[in-house]
């Protein structure tokens, strides 16, 4: 599963490149370069993905979906503007991930992560329902996460491990900053 951590690195790199308006060749070169760099062992036979895994643990299914959508949005194969997720959708993702992360660290004293299975399903369903009012693509991505949880695609048993993690919070905050700078430039 460590190789999946390459996708957030590629996404963050593409987000930063989109801000600089690099050539299309640079995007593909960076995808290849980051893919190789993240998987080559360099420190005590550990790769960058292995070191990242030791800090962030498993990726959520939502991270994989959102990173794939962000990469598709940045690359824009037909050179027409495609906006998969709105600014409000990114705000919702950032707020939901930050709230969950603060609850997980017990900074916000709500025991959401370790509650009963029925309550976690209800909370996840309410997250999906509320996300529909912010962005339909985000709610569909959360629905795919619920579907992946029901299929048991990952080894984890908690539904929140399919919904939230630290790399998506970082990638979303970077995407929000870049979209804010692009709005200011216009």
pLDDT in tens, 7-43: 878 887 877 777 677 777 777 888 888 888 878 888 7
C-beta atoms surrounding 142 within 10 Å: 25
What phi, psi does 167 have (nearest 5°)?
-60, -35
**Mind listing the pLDDT tens digit for each residue in 90-117?**
899 999 988 988 888 888 888 887 888 8
């Amino acid at each position: 599963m460590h190789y999946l951590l390459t996708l957030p690195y590629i996404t963050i790199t593409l987000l930063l490149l989109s801000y600089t308006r690099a050539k299309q060749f640079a995007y593909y070169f960076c995808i290849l370069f980051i893919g190789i760099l993240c998987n080559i062992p360099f420190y005590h036979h550990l790769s960058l993905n292995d070191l990242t895994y030791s800090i962030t643990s498993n990726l959520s299914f939502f991270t994989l979906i959102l990173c794939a959508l962000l990469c598709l949005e940045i690359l824009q194969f037909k050179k027409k503007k495609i906006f998969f997720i709105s600014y409000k959708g990114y705000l919702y993702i950032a707020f939901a991930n930050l709230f969950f992360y603060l609850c997980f660290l017990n900074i916000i004293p709500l025991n959401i992560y370790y509650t009963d299975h029925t309550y976690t399903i209800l909370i996840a369903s309410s997250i999906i329902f509320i996300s529909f009012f912010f962005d339909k693509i985000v709610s569909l991505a959360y629905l795919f996460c619920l579907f992946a949880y029901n299929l048991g695609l990952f080894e984890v048993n908690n539904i929140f491990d399919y919904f939230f993690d630290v790399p998506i919070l970082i990638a979303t905050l970077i995407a929000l900053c870049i979209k804010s700078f692009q709005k200011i430039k216009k």
